[in-house]
Amino acid sequence: MPTRILAELGSGTVPFRWVHRYSPSGTRASVVMKRLAAGFAFAACTCWSGIGAAQEVDRSEEWNTVTSVTAVASLASAVLVPRLSYSDPEVTVGWKARWHVSALAPVMTQVALTMLNEYKLKDAFKEPRPGCPDEDGTGPDCADFGMMSSHTYAAFSALGHGAAVFIFDTAKHSGGRFHGGAFAGEIVTPLVLGLITGIGRGVGDWETGGQVLAGGAAGLGLGFLTGMTYALMQRPMCGYSGALVCW
């Protein structure tokens, strides 16, 4: 075919478009342009997918659920675990267990502080969650901040509350006598739940170690203050009534 075209070129009978179509240089230029276009398209797609992968954060929803349950259970233990005390001069001598509705006051205070941290303080600190850039709003897992950990705050505030109640009930109302049940309910239970919460928030990539520690330390300190105030203002016994539930 190229020989025939060259022969007819001499006689001037071949149209110009045929020359361009069968021209080796024209074919080579077309191939080069197509390859360049394909290369640019591939590079653009690769770059775009790389950006998307960098913004994608793999967080564990299972750990998020577990730590939510343990944080709530830790706070609930401050209300559900009875106050144990020994030897009140107004009642029969011996160990007594009493549940107090008034325990809701310090617990709801900690719930309010947890909400304050979640919806106000985090926006003030502006410290991103693990795997997120400095600015928020870049994805569904980076739409809010992580400092301080609200879950860890709530869980360890129950530990601070329980520790204060145990210390002051033991020293002031039980004559320094130790009760294993009170220790297990007021300290061991929220401690275990708090550790599970803190570890789960870190393992699940919901907060950094610093965010978890900050939330735990703040919860422990403020929980102890509210628990101490409650234990000093509310006696563990219900007076002469002997009722199991006190206001």
Supply the DSSP string of 10-42, one letter for each residue: HHT-S-HHHHHHH-HHHHHHHHHHHHHHHHHHH
Q: What is the pLDDT of residue 218?
A: 97
Range with lowest mean pLDDT among 119-123, 138-142, 191-195, 236-240:
138-142
Residue 168's closest CA among 93, 80, 247, 106?
A: 106
Mean pLDDT in residue range 148-159: 96
Range with lowest mean pLDDT among 99-103, 115-119, 131-135, 180-184:
131-135
The helix (H) or strand (E) run that includes residue 110 is helix 104-116
End-to-end CA distance of the chain: 106
Task: Note whether 85 and 95 are within 8 A (CB).
Answer: yes
Dihedral sign computed on CA atoms, order 73, 76, 78, 82: negative
Q: What is the pLDDT of residue 8?
A: 46
Which pLDDT band holds residue 85 (cuts at 50, 70, 90)?
Answer: confident
Model confidence at 206: pLDDT above 90: yes
Q: What is the pLDDT of residue 58?
A: 78
Q: What is the pLDDT of residue 176?
A: 84
Q: What is the pLDDT of residue 21?
A: 46
Dist. CA 194–CA 169, nearest whole Å: 22
Q: In what order do the strands lie in the sheet with 245-246?
A: 83-86, 95-100, 245-246
Q: Looking at the whole model, is its pTM more than 0.85?
A: no
Judged by DSSP in three states, 96 sits in strand
- Select the more confidently predicted residue: 82 or 154: 154
Dist. CA 56–CA 73, nearest whole Å: 31
Which residues, 6 or more positions from 210, have their beta carbon under 8 angstroms from its beta carbon? 147
- Cα 105 to chain centroid distance, Å, stands at 26
Q: What is the pLDDT of residue 247?
A: 75
Q: What is the pLDDT of residue 241?
A: 61
Alpha-carbon distance values, 203 to 11, 91, 109, 151 (Å): 82, 49, 29, 14
Mean pLDDT in residue range 106-135: 90
Model confidence at 188: pLDDT above 80: yes
Q: What is the pLDDT of residue 138?
A: 56
Model confidence at 207: pLDDT above 80: yes
What rounded mean pLDDT belongs to the chain? Answer: 79
